[in-house]
Amino acid sequence: MTLRPLDLEAESAPQKSAAARAATDSIIVARDVHKTYAGAGQPVHALRGATLDVARGEMVTIMGPSGCGKTTLLNCLSGLETIDQGEIYVEGRSIHDMPDTERTDHRARRMGFIFQFYNLLPVLSSIENVELPLLLGGVGQRESRERAMLALEQVDLGDWAGHRPAQLSGGQRQRVTIARALVNDPAIVWGDEPTGDLDSTNASQIMDLLEDLNDRNQQTFVIVTHDENIGRRANRTIHMRDGLIEGETIHRQLGT
Amino acid sequence: MEELFGLPTIRLMWIVVAIAGVAAAVIAFIFFKRPILVRMGLRNIPRRRAQTVLVTMGLTLATIIVTIAFSTGDSLAVSIRGLALDSLERIDHFIEPEEIDTSAGEGVGDTIPDQVLRDLQAYFAGDERIDAIFGSRFELVPIEHPEAGLIEPQFFLVGVDPALADRLNAVRDEDGDLLRLTELAPNEVVINEIAARELDAEPGDEVRLYVLGQPRQYTVAAIGRDAVLTGNLDAGAAGGLLSMAQYQDLLGSRLSPPDQWDTILVSGAGGVNAPLQFSDALDDDINRALAGLQRTKPDLYLSNGLPRFATDPIKADSLEGAEFIASAFTTLFLFMGSFSVAAGILLIFLIFAMLAEERKPEMGIARAVGMQRNDLIQTFISEGMVYNVGAAVIGVVLGLLFAVGLIAALNQGFESFGFQFTWTVTIKSLVISACIGIVITFITVVFSSFRASRLNIVAAIRDVPEGQYEETYPLTPRRVLRNVLGVFTTAIGIVLVLTTPWTLILGAPIALFLQLTGNRRARRLIPWILLFGWRVLRWNPQWWVLFLVGGLYLVNLGLGQESLFLYIAGVSLAPLGIVMGLNKLRMRGRRINQRLLYTVGAGVVMFLWFIPNDWHENFFNNNLNGGPELFVLAGTMLTAAGTLLLIFNLDLIVGAIRAVVGGVGRLAPVIRTAAAYPAAARYRTGMTIAMIALITFALVNFSTINASFSQAFTGGDTAGGFEVLAFNTEINETSDIRAGLAEAGASDVLADIENAGRIEAGPERGTRAVTVLAERWNPVSEEHILDSDGEIRVVEPDLSTVAFDKRQAVVVGGVNDEFIAGQEIKLQAISYRYDDERDVWSALAGGEMVAVVTVDAIDGAFGFNESGLDPWSTPDGVTDESTRLPRIVVEVGLGASARQVEVIGVLERVSGAFVDLDGEEGGLPTLLLPESIADQVIGQSETTRHYISTRDGADSLDVAQGIERELRIFAVDIQGELKRQQSTQSSILALFQGFIGIGLVAGLAALGVIALRAVVERRQQIGVLRAIGFQARLVGFELLLEMGFIALLGLGLGTALALGLAWRLFAEGTFGEIDMYVPLGTILPILFGAFIASLVLTYFPARQAARTTIAEALRYE
Ligand SMILES: Nc1ncnc2c1ncn2[C@@H]1O[C@H](COP(=O)(O)OP(=O)(O)O)[C@@H](O)[C@H]1O
Ligand SMILES: [Mg+2]
């Protein structure tokens, strides 16, 4: 495990062509991303020029002190939020200047999300929650149902398909969320503290699951966490402070 | 208005003021004892402006409705009172010939001999209460205004002594100035305002009056105010006035015998507005005078042993009538408005529930740090009462504005009657309205506060949404015991409370129906029993016991008082109580399936409402009666049951919808969530559906019943196949329309006539008839009942024993062949001796000794009496629903002119409406005979009615006007007249519909409230949805769809229930033989409009939802 400072000078050169080139071999390419919130009093600079690349199939964790901009970074990369300055390419497509409808569509087809809370619609059953992305993507009713069931079985919740979120434990809920995040076979799965609300046993079970899925499906995972034990289990951990990426730790090379 | 629901309004006012005072005292108590709670409550008001507006809106509804009802009542009372006073002027009493015939068709008894007037003047000479007793004459005399080319055949010409009229100041002109009749020149006539309008005549114009076809020229001296003395004898009647000498001169002594009067008028002392305190006493005195005269001069005052003359305190009656109409209207408005009030109450419940949801975390913390539930209740009540007082003020103002608009609209409807209402409101009404508003909302606020303050502290602090946190208590023996005891204490509490009638002041509506138990000592115990009962009840109230025991109590009470209202209220509550009880039951920790329970419970309630009333009556072998209050109860109970049914089966409905439209490509997830959210939030969805359904129910039910009536009475059927109806008057007769028109040279009019039917009518006061033979009849199989010897049994009373006054009065008419050929009247029953309707009519055409009768003959007159002694009777089992008749023979007329005819057909009411010669519902029956037979019975006919069908393509209005012009008899274009009536009627109906529809505001506001709440409450969920790929506009669309779905459920439920109930009522024959007619042209636009309005209202919250920023929504607060 080596900690090396990121070569900011070389990577953040504001050359569009270079960035675009990099986008072809990395699934996520972010260059000099700035995000400022108006806030109540003075503006908050949540991101002050974040730059990073994530390779296809990689599992990356983002760590850093509370309020350093992890969630903001994740939201910007996934297109949940617009950015003030900089460039973001996901699968070669520029997220930063895409209209909202297109971004939404992109999320529906190519991405999965796991948040800390409020992941599921309380009024729908597990399987109905899992189906949603498929239905949104225009998959037929029957096929959606079959694929959703498969996804639930993958997370070991085949028997809980008809239950509402309120009838499930926290760990079960997060597993339903994972099933939902994976059901449409996304290229990237985003997780914002997916284990934050769970005890350590449940958390490590969830991580086992994610690791396993990452191994099997070669999907890219970007996960925000503040838990060292979780962070270690990725290929790489990116460290943030004050809206900047401070450095990274490589735990294991991709493909090993 | 002086009285309402039989209660003096002044007392009503003090009652509501007292209750409002109690409410104020409660607030004052809280304020002085716990000012902090009041401050906490008030602090919430400015925080959420939209919320404040909505709460106030919900609370104003009750006040608005009550204010409209009272102000309209006041306006009607004042206007109709004014109309009556204007019309009667100085006339206080009438003395008229009795309304019954005195001898068989001899024409005597229509007038009053002068001797009677002189007798009465002598009797009351020197009586200070009386200014004058005098006679007047009137006659229908056609009038023509040649210059304008207009004729009015129906013109009441009145003759009165001019000097006397002047002395009494009895006649005024259109501006209300006195008219001096003594100044009239010999050829001058006064005509009333209606006549002036219809003839387009002004003072100075030349007019002609026709007597026996001979014209005489007069000059219009003045336009007199519409009044009895200026010939305004019926509503909207044209007329005029001549001095007595001129009147006599015009009509001649044959038509107007000089020693006879038509009416004797009594003018009391003290002027038009004089207090009517003498009225009753004076009326009694007049009756006493007549009774005395009957003894001393029986030849003059009696006929066949019956009085010939009767007195009528006309002014007192008219003013009482004004009062009656006003309070009837107020009552009607209150009944119709109660739906809106109920919807407003539900809205308040809903808003308070939403407020509680929103404040749940802070309330949870307050409770956690030691605040009592009672404190929370008091906080809510304080807050609610501020809205309440504000709402009362706004409500009264809005209600008055509505009332002004309503009166203006009413005036449009009455335009063609030349009558205008004046808007008024009394202080008393204002006080009552405001206080009733405050009281209703106070009670609602208190109940809402109780519910809103009920919360689970842990769930509240964690802010778990509604319905997702259910506590499961372990069933300790202690808890079981407590609940079992609770059942008993609740039951005992209810009985204690219910048996102490004074308690009902607490708000139970049944209060009105309980009487006081007399004993004074018992009464003193009442408050203590009440308090004790209340405490017992409050210890551990079990609502299901309350419903069940209360329901059974009401059933029992209803059966005892023969009140359908109480009975069916109880019958509807009891099953719900049972269901609620079963819902609490746990068997080995498992509860009974809720869907099953509530579906069955609601189904039973609906079943009980949809079965015929007879079933209830037969089951308990009891008689149950009800009035319009049932309409309100039906709406409430059916809506409650229907809503329960929907709410507990919403997933099935949703599943069905999804099966049908769910596969619609990309909309599938939207439809799924839009259906799932309402199904998950039962309370608010149910409340909103109930509100919308309640008002829809009222609107649809009201429209349907009214439309069915107007369809029946103004539809094409009514005319019985005729287009023009013409009446002869006594002094202008045409017995043969064709001959008359030919003689007048009006070949164009003649050419348009296809059929000129005729009825020669006997005296309107009736001709005596009696049943002489009637077979017994089996109502079920419509067959004879054979006695044991195989003979058909007949009832044959001994006619010689049947006194004159025991014989039924009927109006006899003789029909000619053209009438029979032209009519399309339906027969609802025919004699078993005839095959079909055609046979019946041809028997009449053939001059046989037969008759057809109106339904009134069966409804009222033919009340069969098992003993067979009732001389005018239908055989056992013949009802107004029979389609076959046994043999019934009646004798019509008296003495030598009496004839025996067989009744072979019963005219259907609607299509036979115009041949009902009495014309009043429930009045004298009409017997139609062949003309030749009728001539023998009634001798010379009193009037002739012409029933004309026109040729295809002819304009019936032209024909009617042609007949009036050429023959100077009165003619109406029936279809045109019906249309005119219908348009007046429908504008008034639209007004009522608008009034009922006010309550829809509550339903729509409810949609807005829950939509707004949804946007706040689902922020994070919207964020997630957006993150996983919901487009922004889909989020908005989803909410719109959801609210639209709820609106549709409410509208659909209300419509279905209303049509269902209407169907039952029509099928049951509640409205006679009227057929149900669903006015889709009225209902669909209302439903569509309400639906669109609900979408417009949800549009703003939906847009807000669509604009949610994902990242912010996802951040945990
Ligand atoms: N909508 C917002 N308005 C204002 N400030 C915000 C908003 N969202 C985040 N911030 C601020 O941006 C900074 C970064 O926040 P965030 O990305 O949530 O941090 P982390 O996830 O690392 O804890 C914090 O200082 C936070 O207060
Ligand atoms: Mg964060």
Identify how many contiguous H helices and E strands chain B contains and give both numbers. Answer: 37, 34
Tell me, yes or no, whether B472 lies in a domain: no
Distance from CA of A191 to the nearest CA of B (A): 12
Tell me, yes or no, whether B551 lies in a domain: no
Give yes or no for residue A61 CB within 6 A of ligand 1. Answer: no
Residues B234 and B96 reside in one and the same domain: yes
pLDDT of residue B720: 78
pLDDT of residue B1062: 92
Dist. CA B399–CA B6, nearest whole Å: 24
Q: Ligand nearest A66 Cα, by number?
A: 1
Would you list the DSSP string of B1019-1082?
HHHHHHHHHTT--HHHHHHHHHHHHHHHHHHHHHHHHHHHHHHHHHHHHHTTTTTPPP---HHH
Distance from CA of B1022 to the nearest CA of A (A): 9
H/E element holding B418? none
In this structure, the strands spanning B943-950 and B884-885 are unpaired
Give yes or no for residue A136 CB within 6 A of ligand 1. Answer: no
pLDDT of residue B640: 94
Q: What angle separates helix B1000-1017 from helix B49-88, to the nearest 10 degrees?
A: 180
Dist. CA B975–CA B960, nearest whole Å: 11
Residues B417 and B270 reside in one and the same domain: no
**B468 touches A: beta carbon within 8 Å:** yes
Whether the pLDDT of residue A13 is over 70: the answer is no
**End residue of a domain, out of B454, B480, B512:** B454
C-alpha of residue B452 to centroid of ligand 1, in Å: 36
Dist. CA B247–CA B253, nearest whole Å: 10
Give yes or no for residue A119 CB within 6 A of ligand 1. Answer: no
Measured in degrees and rounded to the nearest 5, phi and psi for residue B302 equal -125, 150
C-alpha of residue A227 to centroid of ligand 2, in Å: 12
Instruction: Look at A71 and B1115 and tell me if their CB atoms are within 8 Å.
Output: yes
Tell me, yes or no, whether B932 lies in a domain: yes
Distance from the first to the final alpha carbon of chain A = 14
Tell me, yes or no, whether B143 lies in a domain: yes
* Counted domains in chain B: 4
Residues of A in contact with B680 (CB under 8 A): 122-123
How many C-beta atoms lie closer than 10 Å to residue B394's C-beta? 17
Tell me, yes or no, whether B180 lies in a domain: yes
**End residue of a domain, out of B454, B470, B489:** B454
Instruction: Look at B1028 and A180 and tell me if their CB atoms are within 8 Å.
Output: yes
Give yes or no for residue A80 CB within 6 A of ligand 1. Answer: no
The gap from C-alpha A164 to its chain's centroid, in whole angstroms, comes to: 25
Whats the size of chain A, residue-wise?
Answer: 256
Q: Are B645 and B689 in contact (CB under 8 A)?
A: no
Residues B296 and B341 reside in one and the same domain: no
Residues B220 and B85 reside in one and the same domain: no
Nearest CA to ligand 1 atom 27: A67
Instruction: Look at B672 and A135 and tell me if their CB atoms are within 8 Å.
Output: yes
C-alpha of residue A118 to centroid of ligand 2, in Å: 14
Give yes or no for residue B177 CB within 6 A of ligand 1. Answer: no
What is the gyration radius of the CA atoms in chain B, in angstroms? 35
* Nearest to B694, CA basis, from B995, B1003, B991: B1003
pLDDT of residue A77: 93
Dist. CA B891–CA B897, nearest whole Å: 10
Pocket test for ligand 1, best of B1020, B1112, B1116 (most atoms within 8 A of CB): B1112
C-alpha of residue A70 to centroid of ligand 2, in Å: 6
How is residue B678 written in tokens? 């309402």
Q: Are B241 and B158 in contact (CB under 8 A)?
A: yes
Give yes or no for residue A46 CB within 6 A of ligand 1. Answer: yes
Give yes or no for residue A235 CB within 6 A of ligand 1. Answer: no
Residues B924 and B1056 reside in one and the same domain: no
Burial (CB < 10 A; 0-12, 13-18, 19+), residue B1086, is buried
Q: Which domain holds residue B251?
A: 90-318
Q: Which residues contact A11 (CB under 8 A, 6 or more apart)?
A: A31, A51, A53
> DSSP 3-state assignment of B451?
helix
Residues B325 and B266 reside in one and the same domain: no
Distance from CA of B1043 to the nearest CA of A (A): 16
Interface test with B, best of A37, A71, A73, A132 (most B CBs within 10 A): A132
Q: Ligand nearest A192 Cα, by number?
A: 2
Residues B17 and B82 reside in one and the same domain: yes
The gap from C-alpha B6 to its chain's centroid, in whole angstroms, comes to: 17
Q: Are B302 and B98 in contact (CB under 8 A)?
A: no
Instruction: Look at B663 and A81 and tell me if their CB atoms are within 8 Å.
Output: no
Dist. CA B905–CA B850, nearest whole Å: 9
Give yes or no for residue A68 CB within 6 A of ligand 1. Answer: yes
Q: Are B333 and B429 in contact (CB under 8 A)?
A: no
Residues of A in contact with B468 (CB under 8 A): 122, 166
- What torsion do the CA atoms of B948, B951, B952, B955 make, to the nearest 10 degrees? -70
Residues B864 and B838 reside in one and the same domain: yes
How many C-beta atoms lie closer than 10 Å to residue B299's C-beta? 6
Helices (H), B649-681: 650-661, 668-680
Residues B175 and B222 reside in one and the same domain: yes
Instruction: Look at B676 and A123 and tell me if their CB atoms are within 8 Å.
Output: yes
Would you list the DSSP string of B168-183?
HT--BBTTS-B--GGG
Helices (H), chain A: 8-11, 16-25, 70-78, 100-110, 126-136, 141-154, 170-183, 200-217, 228-231
**B6 touches A: beta carbon within 8 Å:** no
Dist. CA B536–CA B524, nearest whole Å: 20
**B673 touches A: beta carbon within 8 Å:** yes
Tell me, yes or no, whether B620 lies in a domain: no
Residues B1016 and B1052 reside in one and the same domain: yes
Q: Smallest Cβ distance to A115: which of B1024, B1026, B1032?
A: B1024
Q: Which residue has the tokens 């926290």?
A: A170
Dist. CA B995–CA B69, nearest whole Å: 10
> How much is the pTM?
0.79
**B672 touches A: beta carbon within 8 Å:** yes
Tell me, yes or no, whether B287 lies in a domain: yes
- Nearest atom (ligand 1) to Cα of B1111: 1
Residues B176 and B312 reside in one and the same domain: yes
Dist. CA A174–CA A129, nearest whole Å: 12
Distance from CA of B1049 to the nearest CA of A (A): 19
Residues B121 and B23 reside in one and the same domain: no
Q: Which residues contact B577 (CB under 8 A, 6 or more apart)?
A: B543, B544, B545, B546, B547, B548, B549, B550, B551
Nearest CA to ligand 1 atom 24: A67
Low-confidence ranges of chain B (pLDDT < 50): 101-109, 466-471, 501-523, 860-869, 871
pLDDT of residue A22: 46
Residues of A in contact with B674 (CB under 8 A): none
How many C-beta atoms lie closer than 10 Å to residue B420's C-beta? 14
- A251 or B772, higher pLDDT: A251
Q: Please count the CA atoms within 13 angstroms of the CA of B702 that sit on its side-chain side.
A: 28
Domains of chain A: 3-8+56-83+92-250 (3.40.50.300)
C-alpha of residue B1038 to centroid of ligand 1, in Å: 30
Nearest CA to ligand 1 atom 21: A71
Whether the pLDDT of residue A254 is over 50: the answer is yes
C-alpha of residue B1025 to centroid of ligand 1, in Å: 21
A75: confidence class by pLDDT, cuts 50, 70, 90: very high
Give yes or no for residue B1112 CB within 6 A of ligand 1. Answer: yes
Helices (H), B753-877: 817-822, 837-845, 856
Dist. CA B708–CA B793, nearest whole Å: 41
Q: What angle separates helix B629-648 from helix B682-714, to the nearest 10 degrees?
A: 140
Provide the number of CB pairs (under 8 Å) joining chain A to chain B: 95
Whether the pLDDT of residue A10 is over 70: the answer is no
C-alpha of residue A156 to centroid of ligand 2, in Å: 28
Interface test with B, best of A113, A135, A193 (most B CBs within 10 A): A135
Contacts 24+ apart (CB under 8 A), B246-255: B246/B159, B246/B184, B246/B186, B246/B189, B247/B137, B247/B157, B247/B158, B247/B159, B248/B159, B250/B141, B250/B157, B250/B209, B250/B211, B250/B216, B251/B139, B251/B141, B251/B211, B251/B731, B252/B211, B255/B139, B255/B211, B255/B212, B255/B730, B255/B731
**End residue of a domain, out of B893, B924, B942:** B942
Q: Is residue B5 left, alpha or beta, with left meaning phi > 0 and alpha meaning psi from -120 to 50? A: left
pLDDT of residue B536: 65
Residues of A in contact with B1111 (CB under 8 A): 71-72, 75, 80-81
Dist. CA B474–CA B761, nearest whole Å: 86
Give yes or no for residue A69 CB within 6 A of ligand 1. Answer: yes
DSSP B516: P
Tell me, yes or no, whether B928 lies in a domain: yes
User: What single-letter amino acid sits at B748?
Assistant: D
Q: Ligand nearest A75 Cα, by number?
A: 1
* Nearest to B52, CA basis, from B436, B255, B411, B351: B351
Q: Are B266 and B286 in contact (CB under 8 A)?
A: yes
Give yes or no for residue A241 CB within 6 A of ligand 1. Answer: no
The gap from C-alpha B37 to its chain's centroid, in whole angstroms, comes to: 47
- Nearest atom (ligand 1) to Cα of A192: 21
pLDDT of residue B528: 57
Q: Which residues contact B459 (CB under 8 A, 6 or more apart)?
A: B360, B364, B469
In this structure, the strands spanning B783-784 and B777-778 are antiparallel
Q: What angle separates helix A170-183 from helix A141-154, to the nearest 10 degrees?
A: 130
Give yes or no for residue A14 CB within 6 A of ligand 1. Answer: no
